Structure 1
């Protein structure tokens, strides 16, 4: 079942963060595994889930849905490989695991597997949504359109077919909207610009992979095309990435007048992220005079920047 659907396993982000924090604190003290049974029994007593309503026999009802959140979250993210697991239980992979790198660890565990975006209904709806929203030019800083989480199903339905050939739901429904926005913030492909409006900006997501990208080269500079290719080898949701191309084809089948960015122009979401990483002093954006493979980066306020190479600040 879909990780972005509030009723399904893996979707409860507070439980995910709670368990992760518990394991991170434990690994500092001990390298032992913690049994799943003890995590559940010690952190979700029945008293937490007592409803204000009584049943026909006069006993207070138990709220079944909240009671399932913690065990479902545990099982879902164990299967995704977020934590080290054995027959004894689970533990954090490293004493370096913490609240600040949880988004990077989740992203790496998610994209450590191969998915069929046409048929999958677990992690796949999240990946489909990521590709879709990264491809829509209007909902970026350059596009200038900011959206509420309540508008996510409408945006999805505008660009994505409702179902695939085998009946798998492709567009998001109202039950997906809040969790998708929350995962967008958690994983770093969206930002919140005020109390209730979001914008697509994958800067924090791309930052996770900067070391991986530049560790494959002998120097500290690579072409923009190699940068994007290496980025997509880690998380293939950006311009030209495998998953992105699949979703763009679905978008064109739904909205025939929609077109992806031209070959020598980056999408507005990727352009903004690279420019922001430049402004934050993580990378330099260079234009070499003799380069024939430069690309255009559309930026806010109608500006455009031409880039042929990217350097990492300070070298490797």
Structure 2
């Protein structure tokens, strides 16, 4: 039942986007019959599985709570979502739905959990960030993704391409020619207003901690604390270091004038960014800039 398996419900990003855009365009609840009649083309049911694929994907994300269903069965967008764009809403829903799961449910679950396990074990791999210089693509994805993935590995035939597509869509990978590098900037950016709230500046340690609450696959987050001890043979960052992926994201956010990274006045409050060329940059505070321009 994994979303990254292209034979299972919930795996189609095309249908996911199609349904969400249709609901957004209509701006009001839509009956299931109307949606199926409008969005499912007549030539789709070439096989029994193809005929059912639309409803399988629709039902999966309805069960996950991505869209709302009224008592009479009408389907609509969730009222007043915290985030407007689909990737952020989807990621927030996946994280929220698993927030009360026990550890063994995260480690063994077969719906959205395989994606969470895989992205959590991939994010610490500095070799495939801009710092490391290597790229992740069809030729090496099986080895890279599965190398430190605890438990059941992703299937190269049906799951790895789906995982890469979801990781890109949700903002954890950036395309580089025909491959990817690990870069969670797009996943992080929508959370900046929430993390800073009414505070214009925060200690870097507080920013990392809050990011780990909203995106628990990042440094210090719950999924990271659960998965990392199970990544046999992996060389971990030092406690005072921010991972290469998160370091790059913070520098990108600074370069786009979303935040400003300040040097520490006290080493006890600082963390080190990992930068290309084996360079490190000590950061003590993060200033949120965007709120001043809104």
Per the normalisation by structure 1, the TM-score is 0.85
In structure 2, the residue matched to 1:104 is: 88
Candidates 118, 130, 138, aligned match of 2:119: 130
**1:90 corresponds to which residue?**
75
Q: Check conservation: 1:153, 1:172, Cα contact below 8 A.
A: yes
Task: State the secondary structure of the residue aligned to 1:40.
Answer: helix
Supply the distance in 2 between the matched residues of 1:130 and 1:173 (Cα, whole angstroms).
15
Report the equivalent of 1:56: none
Identify which range, 63-72 or 242-251, moves more after superposition. Answer: 63-72
Q: Is the contact between residue 142 and residue 301 of structure 1 (CA under 8 Å) also seen in structure 2?
A: yes
Q: How far apart are 1:17 and its partner, in Å?
A: 0.3
Q: Which runs of 5+ in 1 are unaligned?
A: 50-61, 164-168
The residue that corresponds to 1:182 in the other structure is 165
Aligned pair in 2 of structure 1 residues 225, 97: CA closer, same or farther (>3 Å)? closer
Distance across 1 between alignment mates of 2:180 and 2:95: 24
Contact 2:135 2:181 in 1 (8 A): yes
For the pair 1:240 / 2:232, whether they are aligned, the reply is no
In structure 2, the residue matched to 1:18 is: 18
Distance 1:222 1:64, change over 3 A: same
Matched, 1:209 2:198: no
The residue matched to 1:117 in structure 2 has which SS? helix
Taking only aligned residues, the RMSD between alpha carbons, in angstroms, comes to 2.0
1:260 paired to 2:240: no
- Listed as ranges, the matches of 1:62-81 within 5 Å are 62-81=46-65
Deviations 1:93-137 (A, max 9, x none): 358899x71111111111112242211010001111111110111
Instruction: Give the one of 251, 256, 261 matched to 1:280.
Output: 256
- Offset from partner CA, 1:225-249 (integer Å, 9 cap, x none): 1111111111211111110111111
- CA distance in structure 1 between the partners assigned to 2:257 and 2:57 by the alignment: 37
Output the TM-score relative to the length of structure 2: 0.91
Aligned residues: 285
Gaps of 5+ in 2: none
Preserved CA contact (<8 Å) 2:106 2:117? yes
Q: 1:67 and 1:202 mapped to 2: Cα distance?
A: 36
SS of the residue 2:110 aligns to: coil
Is 1:220 the counterpart of 2:200? The answer is yes
Structure exhibiting the larger radius of gyration computed from Cα positions: 1
